[in-house]
A and B are shown apart, each in its own frame.
Chain A
Amino acid sequence: MTQKNFACRISRSEPGPGDGGRTGSWRVLRPVIDLEKCIPAKRNKPACFTCWLYCPDGCITRTIPPTIDYEYCKGCEICAEECPVGAITMVEETVFIKEEK
C-alpha cells in the first residue's frame, strides 16, 4: 500500500525555489534597496552584488539593479548589514500593509 505513494508520506524537498516553504511570511522587516546608492544601479555595471552573495535564501538577483523576491525573503537583515554603501534599509512590514490597504 504505502510503497506506492511513499514520497507523499515523508517530508522531502528537491533543489528549486520554494520547496522550503513560503518563508516570506516570516518577515517583520522588509529590505528595500535605495537605487540612488546601490553601486551596480548607479554605475550601470555588474559590480558589488555583495547582497546577492550573502543572502542565505538566494532571493536577491544578480541583475542591474538587484531585485529581492519578497515571496521568500525572510527579513533576516543580512543584506542590509553587508551592503558596503548602506543602500538597503529595513522597513517595518506594517507600513506596507497600510499601503496595500
Chain B
Amino acid sequence: MHVIESGNVAAANGVKLARAHVVAAYPITPQTPLTEKLSEFVDAGEMDAEYIPVESEHSALSVCIAASSAGSRPFTATSANGLLYMSEQLHWAAGARLPIVMCVVNRGIGAPWTVWNDQQDAFSQRDAGWVQLFACDHQQIIDTVIQAYAIAETVSIPVMVCYDGYILSHTYMPFEIPDSDTVDGFLPAFSPEYALNPAKPCNLNTVTLPDIRPDVRGDTAPGYMEIRHNLHTDMREALNVIKTVDEKFYSIFGRGGHCFIEPYNCEDAEYIAVCIGSLSYQLRDVVDALRQDRIKIGVCGLRVYRPFPDEAIRETFKSAKGIIVLEKALSYGYEGALYADIKAALYDCDNRPFIHNYILGLGGREIKTQQLLDALRQSCTIDIPVPQWIGLKM
C-alpha cells in the first residue's frame, strides 16, 4: 500500500509490521508522533503489543531490557537528551547482548536547549556497542526498522535506526507500506535461544571478577574481558549480517542493495562528498549542478556508522582524488568523528585521496544549497584547513 505520511509514521508502521511485543517510550520532540502513533495502533487493537508508559527514557530502555531478557521483541524510541538519559542502559543492553531495536530521531543536544536537527545525539553514543543504521528518506525508515530486527536477532546486538529530526520525522513523503504476510516471511517470529525461565532460575549479567571463573558445573565461564571481546568480534561479524539481511530484503521487496554506502554519480568521480542521513539526498542536486561545470563529483551516503564499514569505504574511495566529509556533529576539541574514522580507514591506501571536513547544520542551522555548492567547489580547487564550518555567522 502506498501512502503519503510523515517519517515518524513510517517508523511506527515498520514497528507494527515487525510485530514488536512491547513498546516502552517516553515522548520527546521530535520523536513524539512516533510513540503516539504506536499507542494508537495498540489502542485500536491493530498491534498485539503491550504499551508501557514510563516516566523517563532510562526506564523506557530498562523495560525493553527486561522484555528482551524474557524473550520478547521490544521497541523504544528517543531523541537528543532522552538518548543521553538512557546512556547507562545503552551500554547495558549491548553488554547483555539483547536484540532491542530503537529509533533515534536525530536532534541537537542541550545546552543550550535546541529541538532542531543535528546528529550529535547518535554520534555521542557511537561506542556504546550498538549497531547504528541511518535512513535518508521515509521508505528507508520503514524498511530499515524491519531489517533492524532481523540484524539484531541474528547477532544478539541492539540496533539503533537513526533519522533526521523534522527533515524526515515531520515532513510528508510517499512511501510503500509492505503487506504484513510478506514481512512475516522476511522476519519470522523471534525465538530466542535463551530467555528468562522461572523453571530454571539464574542471574543475568552478574558481577564478573577480573579473571575467568568456573561456573556451577565446573565449566569455564567468560570474564568481563572475554564478554567484551566477543561483543567486538560479533559487531565486526554484524557487517556480514547487515549485508545478508539487505540482500534478502532486496530479493523479497526489491528495495535496498546499498547496505553500507549509497553512491550517487560516483562511477567516474574524482571527488566524493560523504555524509550520513538526509543530507546525502540534498547533496545530489549540488553534485548535479557541479557536474554541469564539468567537475567530476559524486556523493555517498553512509548507511552504517557502527560497525564501521571500513572495507567498503576503502573500496569506494581509494581511487578518488578527494573526499569531502560533511557532518552534523563534532568531536569537540578535535574534528568531525566521521571524518576522523574515514581518514583512519584510508590510511593504508597506496594513493590516499585528500580529505576535507565541513561541520554544518548544528542545532538545525539551515543548510543552503548555494553554501554546499560553494563548499564543494572550494574543496575541489584548493587545499583548506579542517574542519571548515558552513553557515556559521560570526
Interface residues of A (CB under 8 A from B): 1-4, 6-22
Contacts and interface: CB of A to CB of B under 8 A. Distances in A.
Contacts of B153: 3
Given A3-B193, A10-B204, 11 more contacts: A6-B192, A10-B96, A10-B205, A10-B227, A11-B207, A11-B224, A12-B204, A15-B201, A18-B213, A18-B214, A21-B207
B194 A7 contact: yes
Contacts of A14: 200-203, 215-216
Contacts of B154: 1-3
A9 B234 contact: yes
Interface of B: 95-97, 153-156, 192-194, 200-209, 211, 213-216, 221-222, 224, 227, 230-231, 234, 237, 241
8 contacts: A2-B97, A2-B154, A2-B230, A3-B193, A9-B231, A13-B206, A18-B213, A22-B213
Given A11-B227, A14-B201, A18-B214, A6 B193 contact: yes
Contacts of A9: 97, 156, 222, 227, 230-231, 234
B221 A2 contact: no
A6 B155 CA distance: 9
A80 to B, nearest CB: 24
B222 A8 contact: yes
A36 to B, nearest CB: 36
Contacts, number: 91
Contact of A12 (B95, B205, B231): B205
Contacts of A7: 193-194
B209 A21 contact: yes
Contacts of B204: 10-12
Nearest to A25: B209
A25 B169 CA distance: 55
A58 to B, nearest CB: 14
A6 B221 contact: no
Contacts of A19: 203, 206, 213, 215-216, 221
B97 A21 contact: no
Given A6-B97, A9-B97, A11-B206, A18 B215 contact: yes
Contacts of A11: 204-208, 221-222, 224, 227
A-B pairs with lowest CB-CB distance, top 6: A16-B216, A21-B209, A21-B213, A13-B203, A14-B202, A2-B156
Given A6-B193, A10-B227, A19-B215, A1 B222 contact: no
